[in-house]
Structure 1
Amino acid sequence: MLRQILRTFREAPGPISLPLLAAQLDIEPSALDGMLLELVAMGRLTRTEGIEPVACAACGTEGNCPYLLSTDLVCYALA
């Protein structure tokens, strides 16, 4: 499962929030949270907080995408 999570991050155009990643992987956020924290501890992911644009990863479009979200959720990205 950790490899699948990392693959999802490699294919994403930017940071991904926990709820979005859980929906993409069809897994409960509470179960995924522990795996993400482990990947952060291993140095594979970084955790960011604050208001950052988060793409839905549905396509490679950046910039003026009407579906680009501005969120204050915790997000994760490849280290």
Structure 2
Amino acid sequence: MRHSVSIRDEIGEEVEAIAEEEDLSISEFYVRAAEAHLKRIRRRRAIHELDRRAGAVDLHGDFDEALDDIREDDPERS
């Protein structure tokens, strides 16, 4: 698949330099960068989904109530 993108000169120049240092083509550099970014996005979304699902079930029992009691006992922790 081919895509055309516009990149600021300073970023493009740095990419070219690092790709050359790493013995990568420009295309391979961008593929690896896109893969790494997609991996971070997928991970963030998975964590968000786990958090969402965990919120549907009270996994912490009376934790919030106990925390409120601690805060009442120590006003500086509010």
TM-score range relative to shorter protein: under 0.3
Give the TM-score taking structure 2 as reference length.
Answer: 0.26
TM-score by length of 1: 0.26
More helix by share: 2
Higher CA-based Rg: 2
